[in-house]
């Protein structure tokens, strides 16, 4: 009969099946994550996701081995107190350490239908565009058609939040702010050309939408949309 695992060693580890191999896997995964955080790219993201998959497989294998060893150590003389003690340690439940939130399918569909109903209802409080008065002011029209200046562009770039989330293309504001001057000049020229021709990228109409639970409200979700960061810069230039 195998001896039960040392309870003191188990309590000192993050999980009862933890060993030095797990520490190496965590260090490797953290390195991949830091590399992706400092240099966001599709290649670095794939490396990090691969490291997560490897870690999950090894953790599942170690957990299975430990559970078999723990069960084989049980006998009629094993104190019940120790059995429950091992179970509590093995479950590794810690207060306030839960990072997973389950969202019901019904709550998700209810929130999604509010954003994009299958049969949209036309708002009744909107004025008919054809009934709006026509303003013929050449000065204002010419002002609106004025190209964006380099000063306006620089002010917009400097006002970006460097810690904001990257866009669907994994281009964060931090990366944009580090673009060379030549690239910024090319972007500004492209913006002016797009605005003058009224032609815009179709990808700018694509958003990544994530539903997160609202605090204090059961089954209530709040949508968060990630738009293209260059698109948001272009919008800020127009608002100015």
pLDDT by position in tens, the chain (length 240): 444 444 444 444 567 778 888 889 999 999 998 888 888 777 888 888 899 999 989 988 888 888 888 888 888 887 888 778 777 766 654 444 444 455 667 777 777 777 777 776 666 666 565 665 655 555 555 666 788 999 999 999 999 888 777 777 778 888 899 899 999 999 999 999 999 888 888 888 887 777 777 777 777 788 887 888 899 999 999 887
Give residue 149's Cα distance to chain centre: 33
Question: What sign results for the dihedral spanned by CA atoms 89, 94, 95, 99?
Answer: negative
Residues 6+ apart with CB under 8 A from 147: 192, 195, 196
Helix (H, G, I), strand (E, B) or coil at 12: helix
Which of the 8 DSSP states describes residue 227?
A: -
User: What distance in Å separates the CA atoms of residue 173 and residue 230, rounded to the nearest whole number?
Assistant: 9
Q: Is the CB of residue 145 less than 8 Å from the CB of residue 196? A: yes
Query: What pLDDT, on a 0 to 100 scale, did the predictor assign at position 10?
Result: 43
Bridge partners (DSSP) listed for residue 209: 225
**Model confidence over 158-181: pLDDT tens digits?**
998 887 777 777 788 888 998 999
Distance separating alpha carbons of residues 91 and 98, to the nearest angstrom = 13
φ and ψ at residue 216, rounded to 5 degrees: 80, 0
Q: What is the pTM of this model?
A: 0.48
């Amino acid at each position: 009969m195998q001896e039960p695992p040392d309870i003191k060693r188990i309590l000192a580890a993050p999980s009862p099946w933890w060993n030095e191999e797990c520490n190496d896997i965590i260090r490797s995964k953290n390195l991949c994550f830091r590399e992706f955080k400092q240099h966001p790219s599709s290649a670095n993201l794939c490396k990090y996701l691969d490291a997560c998959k490897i870690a999950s497989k090894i953790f599942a294998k170690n957990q299975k081995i430990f559970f078999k060893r723990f069960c084989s150590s049980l006998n009629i003389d094993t104190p019940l107190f120790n059995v429950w003690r091992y179970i509590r340690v093995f479950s590794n439940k810690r207060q306030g350490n839960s990072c997973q939130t389950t969202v019901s399918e019904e709550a998700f569909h209810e929130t999604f239908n509010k954003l994009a109903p299958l049969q949209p209802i036309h708002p009744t409080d909107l004025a008919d565009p054809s009934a709006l008065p026509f303003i013929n002011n050449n000065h204002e029209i010419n002002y609106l058609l004025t190209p964006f200046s380099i000063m306006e562009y620089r002010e917009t770039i400097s006002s970006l939040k460097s810690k904001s989330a990257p866009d669907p293309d994994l281009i964060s504001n931090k990366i944009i702010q580090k673009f060379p001057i030549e690239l910024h000049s090319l972007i500004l020229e492209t913006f002016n050309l797009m605005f003058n021709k009224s032609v815009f990228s179709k990808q700018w109409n694509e958003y990544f939408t994530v539903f997160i639970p609202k605090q204090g409200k059961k089954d209530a979700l709040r949508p968060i949309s990630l738009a293209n960061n260059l698109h948001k810069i272009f919008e800020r230039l127009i608002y100015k």
